[in-house]
Amino acid sequence: MSDHTVTVRATDEQHGTWRSTASLLAQRNVAAFLRYAGDFTARYYREENLQAGLKDPVLTRIVEKKYMGALLNAAVSALPFIPKETNSYTHGPLPIKKDLAEAIEGVRDFLSRNGEDYR
């Protein structure tokens, strides 16, 4: 790590504000305070930029619930048209209608236990 010199031109008012704030933060001098303030500000803006790029978790959950509700409704609507079982070359007869009905019931049980509702 190398040291770099940065020249800052400040008004008397700015210098006084920095000096008094430096003493509040137990910094040794104005230069130490400016290093601290610069690091803090850089981290703040970096984090703000990072957060701006992230999705809103509440909105994401609302959209997710909408699509999960549509998927559950589609499964319920498809159930009467699903054959009782299908033949698999590797596993033999598979009870797909029963499996789908159990999955639908499992999702409904989960929703009722957790106070969730997909609409």
Q: What is the pLDDT along the chain (119 residues), one digit of tens a residue?
A: 678 888 888 899 988 888 888 888 776 788 888 888 899 999 999 999 988 888 888 888 888 889 999 999 999 999 999 999 999 899 899 999 999 999 999 999 998 898 887 76
| CA atoms within a 13 Å half-sphere pointing along the CA-CB vector of 111 | 14
- Give the per-residue pLDDT at 22: 84
Return d(Cα 114, Cα 108) in angstroms, integer: 10
The full set of domain ranges for the chain reads 12-53, 57-114
Written as one string, the DSSP assignment of 74-111 is HHHHHGGGS-S-EEETTTEEE-HHHHHHHHHHHHHHHH
Phi-psi region of 26 (alpha: psi -120 to 50; beta: other; left: phi over 0): left
